[in-house]
Chain A
Amino acid sequence: MPKDHGIGASTKRREDVRFLTGRGRYTDDINLPGQAHACFVRSQVAHGRLNGVNTDAAAGMPGVIRVFTAGDFERVGGLPCGWQVTDRFGAVMQEPGHPVLATGKVRHVGDPIALVVAETYDQARDAAEAVVVDIEELEPVLDMKAALAEGAPKVHDELTSNLCYDWGFVEENREAVNKAFETAHHVTTLDLVNQRLVPNAMEPRVAIGDYDFATDDSTLYTTSQNPHVIRLLMGAFVLGIPEHKLRVVAPDVGGGFGSKIFHYAEEAAVTFAARHLRRPVKWTCTRSESFVTDAQGRDHVTRIELALDAEGHFQAIRTETYANMGAYLSTFAPSIPTWLHGTLMAGNYRTPLIYVNVKAVFTNTVPVDAYRGAGRPEATFQLERVIDKAAREMGMDPVELRRKNFITQFPYATPVAVEYDTGDYNATMDKLLEIADVAGFEARLAESKARGKLRGLGVNCYIEACGIAPSHLVGQLGARAGLYESATVRVNATGGLVVMTGSHSHGQGHETSFAQVVADMIGIPDNMVEIVHGDTANTPMGMGTYGSRSLAVGGSAMVKATNKIIAKARKIAAHLMEASPEDIELKDGRFTVAGTDKSVAWGDVTLAAYVPHNYPLDEIEPGLEETAFYDPNNFTYPAGAYACEVEVDPETGKVTVERFAAADDFGNIVNPMIVDGQVHGGIAQGIGQALLETTTYDEYGQLLSGSYMDYAMPRASDVPFYAVDHSCQTPCTHNPLGVKGCGEAGAIGSPPAVVNAVVDALQRAGHSHITHIDMPLTPSRVWAAMQG
């Protein structure tokens, strides 16, 4: 029987009613009294010396209040980078400055140069066009390998080169890995590109700065996944506003996928402008602007080599990756191709020796940072592609080759510094083969053939590290932040609860699923629990939502705080029933003295806490409110197996995804319906990467794919229904809920499945020379491969 409430129930989302009736409150829906509007003047060239900005004409235009230029921000700090990577020689990465408005040079198309504030947005935009910018164009650096060549133009003149870092992991293994390759029975090599993607949350970014000069309080309303992080970074590092004088509100947020983690220049600029002008300043990003300002994702160029013995056992993996940082270091950019990528290179397999080399490179392009999966899709893609290629080269079945190398004993310490606590990769593979109906593939293949179509099947596995993270560990790895999470549970006198979480929900449905957890722990209806998030003024300091961490880390903090509440409530109940707290049981919202029929209701106890007439005041305080911080002692390791079936049109090269199946192990599940939805969305993004999406710059550094007319977003007709299953559950061993996280799995597991399937279709059709096609597998690329 499926559960009908609490943990494990597919409870309908309470947030939906406001979203379905137009009553959501997104940042752009907020308009403050006296609000002025901002428009940024942005660089139209990728690289140039900024010789002057003339604002005279703009300043005199109708409605213009003020035009800010870089000089106004002289006493303001630059945007900080939150992670410092140490290179393989022991030196810290090269870290350029990142001014709020471009200073001295412009470094990518979209780099902000000036900020026009006017009475209306149209007036601000008109005036922005009248700002005259004197830029001496410089040769842009776009290709990563060219950027590292001797004598290449430098993105940042103050750095010694365009190399941010050259990272080796694990550096001590380098020689041993090289040796293993010299003696290997078989080596499979694959060169590939994991193309640059634009995250494209459907809600464009918005920032509204507000300032109350009577109290000296600043407020920023922003489309963020982590308001506390923005408050800390902007307050402490950029504007010098102490946290108690700065409030950051991230109300309903229309998707993030990573791109709304980071602290952006516009947030600091409008907060700064509001303080100067003593009135609210609002900026709403246009979609075209978001294409050249939101941090982008992926952009790796990789060679991966896999060494195998004669039976197909993996002996060693060696990779070399060039990772594009773009023009500046976005907030967490340095960590993505390193710690979130190298540590996953073992995948689901026993490989004794692994060496990962990553060269991070500055180019005159939009900064690159975390996008759904962040480093893990890049690791999974190369590994699962090279395994497929190896299977083909060695004449082995790709599923059997994977099974032969699966990790089956847990805990398992990989050679890349992480320890998987639990998993059952054969179970998810078995489940996958069942729900994908792999047994029926041959019949479907014959049917496709009869229609003149090619058909292929691709299968792969994935593992990810979620629930970032143990603070002590990430601190050693270069994080300049802790990565715990927090919750305050406030019980009201009549028994209802308000949970204030440091996590943020921007589509994940925390208001529903978090309430299910707390209600279940106490045994009361879900609707007695309210979840509050997104405002630094009424939530405890938390690190926010990304890396599939909300339930694993934020949920654990909430469980901890709720357990404190229950412990105290039990004492109150014991007092009310003149029993000892150890004898008190809590079930279905009632406290009972074990072995008796004596009981008090949850509401009686909460009332006693706030009306402490008959109350042990000498032992415990009145009231019922607790805060907890939870810092995990390991990552969580969701894993699974994915299968894709495609049809390829031999005439045009067009690929159609006919079937897609995902078998995931997320540990315990709180709301299966929400989990399914997370996987669906991830799969569509993965199919988008595999077949449609790419970010293209021309030779001058102009973004050619800068709108939805040019950037191919997956649409309803590009994807099929998906078969998803998460009944294989090996609960996480180190968090109280046993949960692992599900937000990114779909985006991590699906791109290799699609590409494996297309290569399989082409191979079956006799194109034996095709072992790889770089994503996106557009008709033209597939067609060209077939001709070769």
Chain B
Amino acid sequence: MTRVTMTVNGKAVSGEVEGRTLLSQFLREGLGLTGTHIGCDTSQCGACVVHVNGQDVKSCTTFALECEGAEVRTIEGMANPDGSLSTIQQAFQDHHGLQCGFCTPGMVMTASALLAKNPTPSEAEIRHYLEGNICRCTGYHNIVKAILAASGQDVSHLGHGDAVAAE
């Protein structure tokens, strides 16, 4: 067991880990941050994506020890400081970009990393960037739409621009 220290969602954390402990395990089991999901064991599905030093990475394929001293951000750290949904999260809700919600944390983390690099991506660029994220529920239509909307682009031609907030 080795001690690892990192910053997760702005808070300094540390814990004892084995050499084989994955970042995803450390987050879920060590810190109880269960928003990061595990959907596969071959680094394909992207349900586990988090940000490490601002870069989107698959936490299932990253050792916890590799993140010594790193700044890690997970889905739990994505909301605005006042607790309201951030632009990308809100766009996913407004455009029904999630159904069962299992792929969603990874989708949101990947999308926000894309938008940080490319603030107005095209449809093709979005679809390409989501290569490592699988969603079985949505057929991607509303995920791509939500990301377009979050980047300020017009999505009115893509159906149901008229979603309403619950009373």
Contact = CB atoms under 8 A, between A and B. Distances in A.
A26 interface: yes
Contact of B130 (A9, A253, A715): A715
B137 interface: yes
Contacts of B69: none
A20 B162 contact: no
B139 A719 contact: yes
A26 B37 contact: yes
A508 B99 contact: yes
A342 interface: no
Interface in B102-137: 102-105, 108, 123-124, 126-128, 130-131, 133-137
A509 B162 CA distance: 17
Nearest to A505: B100
Interface string B14-54: 00001010000000110001111111111011010000000
Interface stretch (A331-339, A359-367, A488-496, A705-713): A705-713
B138 interface: yes
Contact of A20 (B28, B47, B93): B93
Is the interface on chain B under 10, 10 to 19, 20 to 34, or 35 or more residues? 35 or more
B159 interface: yes
A21 B98 contact: no
Contacts of A10: 160, 162-164
A672 B142 CA distance: 13
A18 B35 CA distance: 9
Interface string A4-29: 11000111111111111111111011
A672 B160 contact: yes
B59 interface: no
A443 interface: no
B162 A2 contact: yes
B31 to A, nearest CB: 11
Contacts of B166: 5, 11-12, 14, 512, 515, 525-527
Given A2-B162, A10-B162, A16 B101 contact: yes
B167 A5 contact: yes
A506 B164 CA distance: 22
Interface in B143-161: 143-145, 158-160
Interface stretch (A198-206, A302-310, A648-656): A198-206
B100 A203 contact: yes
Nearest to A284: B38
Contact of B39 (A287, A676, A685): A287
A722 interface: yes
Nearest to B158: A721
A507 B135 CA distance: 12
B164 A5 contact: yes
A21 B37 contact: no
Contacts of B158: 721
Is the interface on chain A under 10, 10 to 19, 20 to 34, or 35 or more residues? 35 or more
Interface in A665-692: 672-674, 676-678, 680-685
Contacts of B128: 716-717
A688 to B, nearest CB: 9
Contacts of B74: 22
Contacts of B57: none
Contacts of B105: 22
A708 to B, nearest CB: 4
A247 B19 CA distance: 39
B92 A20 contact: yes
A288 interface: yes
Interface in A31-69: 31
A633 B158 CA distance: 38
B3 interface: no
A288 B60 CA distance: 14
A287 B96 CA distance: 26
A286 B45 CA distance: 13
A407 to B, nearest CB: 29
A284 B134 CA distance: 20
B63 interface: no
Contacts of B102: 24, 26, 201-203, 254-255
B75 interface: yes
B98 A19 contact: yes
A724 interface: yes
Contact of A201 (B123, B136, B145): B136
A25 B102 CA distance: 10
A287 B41 contact: yes
B44 A681 contact: no
Give the most central of B78, B105, B141, B162: most A CB within 10 Å: B141
B101 A716 contact: no
A681 B85 contact: no
Contacts of B35: 21-24
A13 B138 CA distance: 14
B134 A15 contact: no
Contact of B85 (A5, A21, A527, A685): A21
Contacts of A4: 164
Given A11-B166, A22-B33, A708-B40, A255 B92 contact: no
A257 interface: yes
A339 B72 CA distance: 52
Nearest to B42: A707
A467 B15 CA distance: 51
B68 interface: no
A677 B96 contact: yes
Interface string A256-285: 010000000000000000000000000010
Interface of A: 2, 4-5, 9-26, 28-29, 31, 122, 200-204, 252-255, 257, 284, 286-288, 506-509, 512, 515, 525-527, 672-674, 676-678, 680-685, 707-709, 713-717, 719, 721-724, 746
9 contacts: A26-B37, A255-B99, A255-B100, A506-B100, A707-B40, A713-B44, A715-B133, A716-B130, A719-B139
Closest 3 CB pairs of A and B: A22-B35, A19-B101, A254-B102
Given A12-B164, A676-B160, 19 more contacts: A10-B164, A12-B94, A19-B98, A20-B108, A21-B79, A122-B20, A202-B47, A202-B100, A253-B100, A257-B136, A288-B41, A526-B167, A676-B96, A680-B138, A707-B44, A713-B134, A716-B127, A716-B130, A724-B159
